[in-house]
A and B are shown apart, each in its own frame.
Chain A
């Protein structure tokens, strides 16, 4: 059972365009939704995260939009740059209630930003 579904698998965007990656989750107990960015040969690194008490969080060119009723969240990269080319993973976990904070990851999206 895949608890976090991510789409698309791959995405090609022109420099300056908007990149959008979507994720959907099933477990209504999830209350923390991070996005990780991974460059080739490196481990994933936390990019931005959101909790369900807000519908949007913005950090620079990166924005998470969250729809609790639809159980969906998405990453928007504005003014995409070639340096943003990487694999992006969404994830989810139940961060409250004394859980052991196990992240469930989506399958990843390979983003290519053409110059």
Chain B
């Protein structure tokens, strides 16, 4: 999966607890994205980063925050998890430049909030 590691791969947590998902890349790509995938909704962008400490919101950013202190790591935090955040979370990276539109996805994190 193009040098992308998501951790953990599976997590079960309780409502109200904080959760952090990690995306680590070895490609030195500039752009990183967090998507969630839900049945009937496809893939929806949560947050993205266009450089170290440069982040912006996607279409479903409420309840999520992100941080990128190093090129290789992009963290997604659920400050207080809710059942509606049960989903599969995918990290994606993009090189930028002439191949900027091509996204490479990680294998996903299955998160269950009980």
Contacts and interface: CB of A to CB of B under 8 A. Distances in A.
Interface stretch (A12-20, A52-60, A71-79, A96-104): A96-104
Interface string B26-58: 000001010100001111110010100000101
Contacts of A43: 1, 4, 90, 92, 105-108
Contacts of A42: 1, 107-108
A106 B105 contact: no
Contact of A105 (B40, B42, B56): B42
B4 to A, nearest CB: 8
B1 A100 contact: no
Contacts of A62: none
Contacts of B96: 101
A95 B105 contact: no
A44 B107 contact: no
Q: Contact residue range for chain A?
A: 20 to 34
A101 B32 CA distance: 11
B57 to A, nearest CB: 10
Nearest to B41: A107
B108 A101 contact: no
Q: Contact residue range for chain B?
A: 20 to 34
Nearest to B91: A43
A100 B50 contact: yes
Contacts of B62: none
A89 B90 CA distance: 14
B19 interface: no
A101 B100 contact: yes
Contacts of B43: 44, 89, 103, 105, 108
27 contacts: A6-B42, A34-B102, A42-B1, A42-B108, A43-B90, A43-B92, A43-B106, A43-B108, A44-B43, A44-B90, A46-B102, A46-B103, A49-B102, A95-B101, A100-B50, A101-B31, A101-B94, A101-B101, A102-B48, A103-B43, A103-B103, A104-B45, A105-B43, A106-B42, A107-B40, A107-B42, A108-B43
A-B CB proximity, top 10 nearest = A43-B105, A107-B42, A105-B43, A105-B42, A95-B101, A108-B42, A32-B101, A101-B100, A44-B105, A100-B50
